[in-house]
């Protein structure tokens, strides 16, 4: 049987776009990506929010290659390896050794959220509160598409279609502490954890200071574990190495992934507080989680090199400087383009909200057309809520940012000229 359907089945791309050379990347260097149709585009997304230092960082590449040559494949499944020991120690030191004590390695943000869910429920069983099994997330959040992470994701991405079990999951609106308080007043004794992103997923909605303060207060009152999903916000995306380092008190668990290896390999980690870790040590408890590629030499060498490079380059300073430039550019875009309703986000994690000529939010069905128009104008952006995201690498120069915004303007104008959905 002959077929014209290409063998590769890419993620979240409609079937009529499969096999398109304009969507098939062939190279990446610095902040630019080459495609099979011969074009080179400016990347406005840091890959999938993960190449915070741009593509092809030489130090990370060399450390990864050296680990492959010296150690090839070693794991942390019923064994340890020295690379994983060193990377775990570096992450604890980076996150704050006065609060955090241990690291569980994983391979993606979704898988790390699966591990986190097991960990929180097991912790409460050890603490004598085994009835605590509910995990609370936020509406509009994104925690991955594995079955556990998918259950926790607060966007409707087909959970019912795929039979995702959400019976032990609840969702409340962000930045509305009274809604969380109402839920806890009914189910507080059954809640194992509340999981939040410091800046929520596709909509790039930052948690405000009042909400964070309420989370910390409610943790003390109700006894749940507070989990920060810093898959996207970690590694200086919003300024500090981790957004929660600016919170008045740290979470019990911190999940990191995207920037962890500067996008070089599948990697994630759950950083665990002393309090939680000690419950397992004291109880001699075995956590039933393991992944074949978690904690390998190449992963851990890349983690160590990424941390060292970010410190050498002053990634925190770069993030804050680029954030200030983004503030000015986005304010100008909002004032001079009629389709732009405003911008959300924090640091170098932003989203542009669009509207129709009637002034209502741009229907989500038209967002791919806008993204395609910006791509034709010369830049890669990702879809967002009623608009698109801008997540530039921290290594962007002022000229790079001006080029990105010019591509955005050209793309928006081209989309508006089509008159479709505008």
Report d(CA 102, CA 121) in Å as an integer: 17
Report d(CA 233, CA 255) in Å as an integer: 10
CATH 3.40.640.10 residue ranges for the chain: 58-312
User: Which residue matches tokens 């109700």?
Assistant: 222
**CATH (one of 3.40.50.150, 3.40.640.10, 3.40.50.300, 3.40.50.970) for 58-312:** 3.40.640.10
| 375, 395 Cβ separation under 8 angstroms | no
363 DSSP 8-state letter: P
Report d(CA 201, CA 188) in Å as an integer: 26
Q: What is the pLDDT of residue 201?
A: 85
| 164, 147 Cβ separation under 8 angstroms | yes
Q: 202 pLDDT band (50/70/90 cuts)?
A: confident
Report d(CA 282, CA 20) in Å as an integer: 55
Report d(CA 118, CA 255) in Å as an integer: 14
The strand pair at 379-380 and 382-384 is best described as: unpaired
Q: What is the pLDDT of residue 4?
A: 83
CATH 3.90.1150.10 residue ranges for the chain: 15-53+314-418
Dig out the tokens for 343 from the structure: 């911008």
Report the half-sphere exposure of 154 (CA within 13 A, side-chain side): 22
User: Sign of dihedral through CA atoms 31, 35, 38, 41?
Assistant: negative
Q: Which residue from 270, 183, 286 is spatially nearest to 227, judged by alpha carbons?
A: 270
pTM for the model? 0.96
Measured CA to CA in angstroms, residue 73 lies from 67, 148, 299 at distances of: 9, 27, 10
Q: What is the pLDDT of residue 251?
A: 98
Q: What is the pLDDT of residues 114-126, one digit of tens each?
A: 999 999 999 999 9
Report d(CA 188, CA 181) in Å as an integer: 9
Q: What is the pLDDT of residue 15?
A: 95
Q: What is the pLDDT of residue 2?
A: 52
Q: 418 pLDDT band (50/70/90 cuts)?
A: confident
Q: What is the pLDDT of residues 319-343, one digit of tens each?
A: 999 999 999 999 999 999 999 999 9
The architecture in CATH of the region 15-53+314-418 reads: Alpha-Beta Complex (3.90)
Cβ contacts of residue 308 below 8 Å, gap of 6+? Answer: 59
Q: What is the pLDDT of residues 118-147, one digit of tens each?
A: 999 999 999 999 999 999 999 999 999 999
Q: What is the pLDDT of residues 396-408, one digit of tens each?
A: 999 999 999 999 9
> 120-131 burial by CB neighbour count: b if 16+ within 10 A, else e?
bbbbbbbeeeee
């Amino acid at each position: 049987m002959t077929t014209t359907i290409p063998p590769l089945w890419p993620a979240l791309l409609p079937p009529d776009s499969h096999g398109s050379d304009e969507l098939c990347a062939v190279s990446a260097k610095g902040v630019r990506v080459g495609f099979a149709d011969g074009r080179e585009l400016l990347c406005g997304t840091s890959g999938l929010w993960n190449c915070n230092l741009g593509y092809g960082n030489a130090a990370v590449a060399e450390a990864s290659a050296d680990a492959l040559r010296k150690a090839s494949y070693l794991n942390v499944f019923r064994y340890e390896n020295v690379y994983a020991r060193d990377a775990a120690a570096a992450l604890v030191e980076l996150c704050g050794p006065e609060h955090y004590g241990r690291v569980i390695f994983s391979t993606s943000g979704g898988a790390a959220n699966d591990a986190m869910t097991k960990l929180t429920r097991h912790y409460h069983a050890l603490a004598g509160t085994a009835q605590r099994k509910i995990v609370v997330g936020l509406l509009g959040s994104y925690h991955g598409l594995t079955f556990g992470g998918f259950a926790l994701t607060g966007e409707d991405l087909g959970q019912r279609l795929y039979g995702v079990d959400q019976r032990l999951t609840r969702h409340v609106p962000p930045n509305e502490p009274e809604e969380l308080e109402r839920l806890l007043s009914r189910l507080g004794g059954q809640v194992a954890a509340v999981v939040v992103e410091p800046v929520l997923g596709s909509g790039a909605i930052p948690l405000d200071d009042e909400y964070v303060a309420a989370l910390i207060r409610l943790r003390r009152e109700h006894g749940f574990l507070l989990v920060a999903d810093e898959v996207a916000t970690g590694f200086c995306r919003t300024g500090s190495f981790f957004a929660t380092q600016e919170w008045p008190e740290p979470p019990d668990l911190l999940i990191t992934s995207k920037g962890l290896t500067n996008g070089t390999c599948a990697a994630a980690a759950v950083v665990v507080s002393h309090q939680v870790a000690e419950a397992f040590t004291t109880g001699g408890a075995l956590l039933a989680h393991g992944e074949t590629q978690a904690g390998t030499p190449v992963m851990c060498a890349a983690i160590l090199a990424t941390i060292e490079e970010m410190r050498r380059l002053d990634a925190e300073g770069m993030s804050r400087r680029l954030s200030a430039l983004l503030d000015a550019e986005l304010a100008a875009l909002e004032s001079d383009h009629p389709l732009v309703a405003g911008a959300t986000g924090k640091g170098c994690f932003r989203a542009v909200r669009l509207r129709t000529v009637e002034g209502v939010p741009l229907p989500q069905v038209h967002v791919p057309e806008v993204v395609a128009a910006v791509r034709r104008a010369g830049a890669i952006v990702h879809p967002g809520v009623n608009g698109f995201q801008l997540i530039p690498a921290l290594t962007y120069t002022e000229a790079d940012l001006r080029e990105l915004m010019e591509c955005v303007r050209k793309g928006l104008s081209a989309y508006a000229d089509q008159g479709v959905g505008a």
